Amino acid sequence: MAAKFRTYEGTVITVSIGARMALFWYFRYHNVIDSLHFGGPILDTPITDAVNLAECTGLVEQGVSPYSGSVCRTPPILLSLHHFLGSLCGGRDLIIPGFAYVLFDVATATFLGLAAVVITRRYAQDYTQRLLGDAPGDTHKDQAHHNSGGLSRAERKATAAALQIAGCDKPDEGTFEQYGMRVAAAWLANPVTIAQCYMQSGNVIHSCVVALAFWLMSRRQITASAIAVATAAHLALYPACLLLPLCSCALSTPHTRGPMVSVLQVLGTFALWFALLAGISYLFEHSWDWAHSVYGVQVFVSDLTPNVGLCWYLLTEMFAHFRFFFILLLHFNLLIVLLPLTLRFGSDPDFLAVILMGVVGLFKTYPSVGDTTLTVALISTQLFFLHKWMRQQFIVVCAFLATAVLFPLFWRTWAFDTGGLFVVISRATAACRVCVHEVLLILFQARDVHHVVPCGVLYYCALHTTKKHSTNACTCHVNVR
């Protein structure tokens, strides 16, 4: 059965990559610029717009700085990479070659799949140690009580019997790898990621760097992950929020030099690498105009191009003397959300990273549907032990599908036919994302292995024992906060 699933997932991955290559082959015989416009503000933003990137490359070819008029939103390093790869295509410098974008997408799927394997393996080891009493020092009552997450010896024996009946006591390594392939296949087969790759959106590169940082964080390679986070923050400021789970990793990982020294090492690595990338960008442009053009537009929201975010329509309709106050509240609202989430979920840095990326994708100034896709992909790395006990998933999935279908229709009606309710459908998508985060927070409360028994596992065991055996294996008392 496992081999059958691997063959199925491998087929999905191969077909998805082939679809991308076929679309780029289609590019050779049709107008590239017209093809890049079909997604509108749904799949692209002023920060990741492929048309803007092509125009900036044309200005570089003519010897004009694209940052002098605050037109270019792409960092100089990425712009230089775009120009170099475009020159390899025989003068077709309007776009990065499609093969490079396919490689970025495949790399993103690989990092997400590897992260899913690492995280599920760690959760399985946690379950085994805390529920089956595999940790050393089990002979002492206090130590056994701590290691089992608050269960007595009799309760642990009952839970162990239930886990053995349910087949959860010895997770198969092949199951983890199969789940990682499913996560990778889901990313590559997603129509949104295929459309972004076809449009050559900057979200493809941004998602790849964020997925790399997330995978390194899951492996607890803190220094390398800090470098990846600094690279992602150089491309777009908001992935800098991943510093919070990185600091949580540094605090929870034992070090001889102390936890605070490890936190300072993470912050220092991030600052040095970010400064290095900024210095290289300055060498490319011999000016700091690029910083205002790239980062200033994200902070001060100077470009009012329509997007799927929460703030652009209000800023368009707002009086000028209220503008700065509202922008200040927008950023402050995001900051006051990040700190409580870090304090509550800092015990699980991987889960914290998923929640923070979802919140940032909801409140950032220039979001797109690609941010929602990345958030869902990160959430999928956490669902190996949680998907069986999720509630309202049918309603949430149907709501997402409905908004995905209505988005382009409402955008077309609003932009070209002077009608429609594009703002309403963008708010509906935001409401769906809030529901997803609420479900995740409830599941984390049930899966908090540091203080309570994973209720989902016991519920799963109870279902199997009531169906197959008339034992009292899963009748142990569980205290949930």
The pLDDT, as a whole number, for residue 73 is 86
pLDDT at 260: 82
Range with top average pLDDT, 56-60, 255-259, 370-374, 399-403: 370-374
**pLDDT, average across residues 257-265:** 82
Write out the two tokens for 327: 């922008």
pLDDT band at 94 (very low <50, low <70, confident <90, very high): very low
Residues 428, 434: Cα–Cα separation, whole Å: 10
Distance CA 317, CA 326 (A): 12
Q: Write the pLDDT tens digit of every residue in 455-474.
A: 444 434 444 444 444 344 33
**269 phi and psi angles, rounded to 5 deg:** -65, -45
Q: Six-digit token pair at 235?
A: 């491309």
- The mean per-residue pLDDT over the stretch 401-422 comes to 72
Nearest C-alpha neighbor of 99 from the set 27, 24, 185 = 24
Q: What is the pLDDT of residues 115-171, one digit of tens each?
A: 999 988 887 777 666 655 544 434 334 443 433 344 455 545 545 544 444 444 455
Contact 51, 37 (CB under 8 A): yes
Least confident of 80-84, 271-275, 305-309, 407-411: 407-411
Determine contact, residues 273/230, Cβ cutoff 8 Å. yes
The per-residue pLDDT for 130 is 60
